[in-house]
Amino acid sequence: MLNLLDTNIFIYARGRAHKYREACRKIIEFLENPRNDLNVDSEVLQELLYVYTYRGQRKIGIKLVEDIQVLLPTPIQITGEVIAKACELMRKYDSLVPRDAVHAAVTIVEDLEGIVSTDKVFDSVEEIKRIDPIDFVKERIQGQ
């Protein structure tokens, strides 16, 4: 089954030393495997453009998104159904911010296995499964 990649996977993969950096880098490398079971939604791409532009690294953000589009050329689109589900989730979970609600809604509406993310807020959303990047690498990449 398909899993959604959260924005933080790409940010940690490019970032400074951190407990998640190596796992996130391995996940990005795994995207080159034609048997990978991963995708992003269009909100992840927008969020990456926003974050890097906000940090004063606009060119880096553009290049990153272009590179992702080569590896994952058909991101999951945000539909009216997804937005309606995101609103429903935000009513139910006070800790869920809009972008995370959209990612959670995509996971539900598209009937995905889960979301690969470092963000523990997804653990509180009972309708979805959060997969820790370190666990994903151990179980899906190294376990092959």
Instruction: Name the token pair of 102.
Output: 């959209």
Distance, in Å, from the CA atom of 112 to the CA atom of 110, rounded to the nearest integer, reads 6
CATH number at residue 101: 3.40.50.1010
pLDDT in tens, 93-138: 999 999 999 999 999 999 999 999 999 999 999 999 999 999 999 9
Q: Are 39 and 10 in contact (CB under 8 A)?
A: no
Segments forming the whole domain that contains residue 105: 3-141
Share of the chain above pLDDT 70, in %: 99
Q: Are 135 and 23 in contact (CB under 8 A)?
A: no
124: helix, coil or strand? helix
What is the side-by-side order of every strand in the sheet holding 130-131? 38-39, 3-5, 114-116, 130-131
Burial 47-76 (b: 16+ CB within 10 A, else e): bbeebbeeeeeeeebeebbeebeeebeebb
Please say if the pLDDT value at position 144 is more than 90: no
Helices (H), 15-97: 21-30, 42-54, 58-71, 80-92
Report how many domains make up the chain. Answer: 1
Q: Model pTM?
A: 0.95
